[in-house]
A and B are shown apart, each in its own frame.
Chain A
């Protein structure tokens, strides 16, 4: 191999070892869901595992129920908008285990044309409000969610989803249609 000529032996060994030494939790997920696992990143002590959307609910169920994982506490649900990517939105769940004292960030990507993931409200009850907020702010729908409505914005709000990157900071002019605001204008 050409690599053997370029890299001396010890360097090649460390290079290889760093590739396979993943966090034990990420290793376990990869072993259980070889088709659904995409990647795992460890940065600043935080473990983030990205999985495919179809296996998201199964992986979460595994993390919740497996006695070795035991992620019983839901920390937050969030979403990130990457408009230039093919799969535009990233849904982020963060779990913690009160008994085992470890945490994980579970992520998945969804395209804009079909931005829907399966809700995790059947596993963590707290996911209800947190997922509603993600729906309200980013427009990602959650399948099987018991009550998917807007939560912070008004129910009749029709300007779209405010935390998307293509939403202007000052809004889209909905406020100007309020009669009581127009009356005070000169």
Chain B
């Protein structure tokens, strides 16, 4: 059996040898018959099992190679930015769930952080730890989801069942935490909605012991799989300069060897108190991005464990700024003042100062940012979402040129694209 490193180049050699090369000036010099060639336009999608939503790509093909790819987006456009201008700051939190609907917690987190920056609120210590733990759980879920679907797109179906089996444990954990598996809305401006119960902590600790061996189990299916290696190594290569110029972020950027992680550079929430490393790739291909995501799952386990150990046992989970933050639910039902406060905050909102902020957060896909312009009053004047999926699609044409038509599926898979976030 040949060494794995050579597999990709051999595959290419075989394909090249089947291309008929005829010199147009001297067609008679070739023994082959003169073939009529023309470029082919192919619509891929919008309904296609591997587009992770509703995405259409117009491919210009020469044989089976992609010459140019034009993404056509917007099938899931719901005008979330326009809706944001019509509601109060608190009312927008459930809308953020529907952006990246497989990883709602991180969207809540990014949005709440942005509003907290606008309102200049400091979150209590225990709440910071809770937020970090849940965000990292969400990162594990996101990477499991990515790994399962990407392997499924390539044809390795078993990994999908294994990752979804473990994802289910965490989704049930979310269910116990906030009553929802996907559209969670657990984060609040200034804190979180409710605290961990002892049972939740216990279950999470049990999961942390259970999970690391399972990561190795996923990897066993892939790292010696010839098909996986041939279809990920050397596919969708993007250089570090191009990746930065395109504004890629998250594993897609770090796969090209750029060490840029907002958890380190902005040091928000409880991340500065945890020790973790940021895996960085070398080649900028799909395989490196896969490797980074697998490593990040290991790092997330480390972060969660450190947070659980360092977290103060008692303490408030919501900042005490009555003009902005919501009162605790038990007080709302028993105390008239709290009920009035809750009603006012949801019907009129709080009075935000005039100004504008941008706040980016490292979601598992990349930098999820919110640019909020406030003109005073209870509603955002303008809210712009910097969605990593949308920006990654900008590099799709660049990254897919020269690859095979079957690679198109794996190239937008490698961004971990979710169209709900891309089209907003």
Does A associate with B in a complex? yes
Residues in chain A within 8 A of chain B (CB atoms): 43-44, 46, 48, 72-76, 78, 80-81, 92, 94, 98, 101, 103, 105, 124-126, 128-130, 133, 137, 150-154, 162-163, 167, 169
A37–B120 alpha-carbon span in the complex (Å): 29
Whether A152 contacts B118 in the complex (CB less than 8 A), given A74-B247, A129-B390, A163-B82, comes out as no
Chain A residues positioned under 8 Å from B79 (CB to CB): 162
B25 vs chain A, min Cβ distance (A) = 33
Residue B394, interface by CB 8 Å: yes
Partner of A44, one of B260, B355, B398, B423: B355
Tell whether, in the assembled complex, residue B356 and residue A126 are in contact, meaning their CB atoms are under 8 Å apart.
no
- A-B CB contact pairs (8 Å), 18 listed: A43-B356, A44-B357, A75-B360, A75-B367, A75-B386, A76-B358, A94-B371, A98-B244, A124-B246, A125-B398, A126-B246, A126-B394, A128-B394, A151-B73, A152-B423, A152-B424, A163-B81, A163-B82
Tell whether, in the assembled complex, residue A80 and residue B245 are in contact, meaning their CB atoms are under 8 Å apart.
no
A142–B120 alpha-carbon span in the complex (Å): 35
Chain B residues positioned under 8 Å from A167 (CB to CB): 82
B226 vs chain A, min Cβ distance (A) = 34
Tell whether, in the assembled complex, residue A76 and residue B386 are in contact, meaning their CB atoms are under 8 Å apart.
yes
Residue B258, interface by CB 8 Å: yes
Tell whether, in the assembled complex, residue B247 and residue A124 are in contact, meaning their CB atoms are under 8 Å apart.
yes
A-facing residues in B67-85 (Cβ within 8 Å)? 73-74, 77, 79, 81-83
Tell whether, in the assembled complex, residue A81 and residue B382 are in contact, meaning their CB atoms are under 8 Å apart.
yes
Tell whether, in the assembled complex, residue B246 and residue A125 are in contact, meaning their CB atoms are under 8 Å apart.
yes
Sorted from nearest, which 10 A-B pairs have the closest CB atoms? A126-B247, A129-B394, A152-B74, A78-B384, A76-B386, A126-B246, A152-B77, A74-B247, A125-B245, A80-B382
Tell whether, in the assembled complex, residue B357 and residue A153 are in contact, meaning their CB atoms are under 8 Å apart.
no
Given pairs A73-B247, A76-B391, 16 additional interface contacts (CB within 8 A)? A44-B355, A48-B356, A74-B245, A75-B386, A76-B358, A76-B371, A78-B371, A92-B371, A128-B394, A129-B391, A129-B393, A130-B247, A150-B74, A151-B73, A167-B82, A169-B83
Chain A residues positioned under 8 Å from B228 (CB to CB): none
Chain B residues positioned under 8 Å from A150 (CB to CB): 74
Residues in chain B within 8 A of chain A (CB atoms): 73-74, 77, 79, 81-83, 86, 117-118, 120, 242, 244-248, 258, 260, 265, 355-358, 360, 367, 369, 371, 373, 381-382, 384, 386, 390-391, 393-395, 398, 423-424
A166–B381 alpha-carbon span in the complex (Å): 13
A79–B223 alpha-carbon span in the complex (Å): 45
Tell whether, in the assembled complex, residue A76 and residue B82 are in contact, meaning their CB atoms are under 8 Å apart.
no
A159 vs chain B, min Cβ distance (A) = 12
Chain B, Cβ-Cβ closest to A168: B82
A72–B242 alpha-carbon span in the complex (Å): 10
Chain A, Cβ-Cβ closest to B387: A76
A133 vs chain B, min Cβ distance (A) = 7
Chain A residues positioned under 8 Å from B393 (CB to CB): 129
Partner of A98, one of B73, B81, B246, B258: B258
Chain A residues positioned under 8 Å from B244 (CB to CB): 72-73, 98
Chain B residues positioned under 8 Å from A76 (CB to CB): 358, 369, 371, 384, 386, 391
Tell whether, in the assembled complex, residue B245 and residue A46 are in contact, meaning their CB atoms are under 8 Å apart.
no
Tell whether, in the assembled complex, residue B391 and residue A153 are in contact, meaning their CB atoms are under 8 Å apart.
no
A120–B57 alpha-carbon span in the complex (Å): 25
A44–B115 alpha-carbon span in the complex (Å): 12
Chain B residues positioned under 8 Å from A125 (CB to CB): 242, 245-246, 394-395, 398
Tell whether, in the assembled complex, residue A75 and residue B358 are in contact, meaning their CB atoms are under 8 Å apart.
yes
Tell whether, in the assembled complex, residue A153 and residue B77 are in contact, meaning their CB atoms are under 8 Å apart.
yes
A39 vs chain B, min Cβ distance (A) = 13
A137–B385 alpha-carbon span in the complex (Å): 13
Tell whether, in the assembled complex, residue B242 and residue A105 are in contact, meaning their CB atoms are under 8 Å apart.
no
A92–B357 alpha-carbon span in the complex (Å): 12
Chain B residues positioned under 8 Å from A126 (CB to CB): 245-248, 391, 394-395
Chain A residues positioned under 8 Å from B424 (CB to CB): 152
Chain A residues positioned under 8 Å from B367 (CB to CB): 75
